[in-house]
Homo-oligomer: A and B are copies of this chain.
Amino acid sequence: MNDNRTELEKLGEFGLIKHLTQYFKIHHPSTIKGVGDDAAILEVSQGDQVVVTTDMLVEGVHFDLMYVPLKHLGYKSIVVNLSDVFAMNATPKQVTVSIAVSNRFSLEAIEELYAGIKKACEWYEVDLVGGDTTSSTSGLIISVTAIGFAKPEKIATRSGARVNDLVVVTGDLGGAYMGLQILEREKEVFRSAPGAQPNLTGYDYVLERQLKPEARKDIVQLLAQMDVKPTSMIDISDGLSSELMHLADQSFVGCDIYEEKIPIAPETIAAAKEFNLDYTTAALNGGEEYELLFTIKQSDFEKIQGNPNFSVIGHITDESSGCRMITKAGEAIALKAQGWNALKPGEMY
């Protein structure tokens, strides 16, 4: 962190945009014009469709700057949007970023935020093509729109799951949620004893899942290489349970998943035990994973079998069966959408 403090107003709106975006590189020749005109201009490859998604992150609702470094926040603000593009089985190419900041933030703080945004743009090879900077009366708000492209026959929506399709999830679940529990605990410790050093050693994995999540760019590439087209797909931003119900709702089907098949990292299990939390619950209801949940035809099973990126956790059933989890004890219980409600006041995550 830089200790200097430059007031944002010194640069003015246009000066600030110029200053923040000057070192961003353009990766795609299809970005004809980026920042600096009334609108960006993008070229579309023949036959491609465009996918568009947008997300807004609000201080005090989606993030707490007491423990989220601004650089990580900038990175994450891009990741959450790209994840939605990947969840369409498409490739993101451009983003716009708008921010509203109160004068509590210095130029140096906003530079940190943009350093994270830049890092994500480089890693995911997306071009920053526009945005807006404005002041806010309180706090920081980040609004990102991501634009991606895909051939129509490749695009996977939420509505294509069919009875007997297999339900597949990438990576492992519940880690981001446990990371948050640790951050919240250390925040309480700090509050009751300011100056106390946070005890974060040994929790690297779950903390990284929370603070520096990655979107599954690799999966979209891998599925293309394996010649697997998901029949439906969604990203896990609000918890496995909630996302499964979205897929089932929009495909007019039900699903059975098996508790023992849900992939959970040993670090997540250890952290859950420490907090006396059920790790399956963390995996079902903890959000912000940015893993992909998708369905495939049974005939594609052999193609993904044995690949450590994928866990087959169940199958699609008839709509009348609803969404169920078969517990380790063999009991079938109805899944509930307990995803995070961003409209419930006073609740953080």
Interface residues on A, range: 35 or more
From B52, B132, B138, A39 is in contact (CB under 8 Å) with: B52
Closest to A157 in B: B37
- B39 touching A131, Cβ below 8 Å: no
Contact status B138-A96, CB under 8 Å: no
In the assembly, what is the distance between CA of A240 and CA of B157, in Å?
A: 45
Check B61 against A50 for contact (C-beta < 8 Å): no
Q: Which residues of A contact B (CB under 8 A)?
A: 8-9, 11-13, 16, 32-33, 36-44, 46, 48-56, 58-62, 84-85, 87-88, 90, 94, 96, 98-100, 103, 129-139, 141, 143, 145-148, 152, 155, 157-159, 233-235, 250, 341-345
A235 to B342, CA, bound (A): 35
> Using Cβ atoms and an 8 Å threshold, which residues of chain B touch A157?
33, 37, 41
- On chain B, the residues within 8 Å of A58 by CB distance are 100, 134-137, 141
Residues of chain B lying within 8 A (CB to CB) of residue A345: 9, 103, 135
Residues of B within 8 A of A43 (CB): 49-50, 152
Partner of A61, one of B51, B52, B55, B135: B135
Q: Contacts A55-B98, A134-B62, A345-B9 given: A84-B38 contact, CB under 8 Å? A: yes
Q: Determine if A132 and B56 form an interchain contact, defined as CB atoms under 8 angstroms apart.
A: yes
> Which one of A62, A90, A132, A138 has the greatest number of beta carbons of chain B within 10 Å?
A132
Once the chains bind, are B46 and A40 in contact (CB under 8 Å)? no
Query: Shortest Cβ distance from A220 into chain B, in angstroms?
Result: 12
Closest to A33 in B: B157
Are B145 and A54 in contact (CB-based, < 8 A)?
Answer: yes
Task: Check B137–A38 contact: CB distance below 8 A.
Answer: no
Bound-state Cα–Cα, A226 to B235, Å:
48
Contact check, A61 vs B9: say whether CB atoms are below 8 A apart. no
- Which residues of the other chain, B, contact A50 by a CB distance below 8 angstroms? 41-44, 50, 147
Report whether A94 and B52 are in contact in the complex, using a CB–CB cutoff of 8 Å.
yes
> In the bound complex, do residue A53 and residue B40 qualify as a contact, i.e. CB atoms below 8 Å apart?
yes
Neighbouring B residues of A342 by C-beta, 8 Å: 13, 133-135
Are B158 and A38 in contact, CB atoms less than 8 angstroms apart? Answer: yes
Check A40–B36 contact: CB distance below 8 A: no
Is B16 a contact partner of A343 (Cβ separation < 8 A)?
yes
Whole-angstrom distance between the Cβ of A278 and the nearest chain B Cβ: 24
Q: In the bound complex, what is the Cα–Cα distance between A43 and B46 (angstroms)?
A: 11
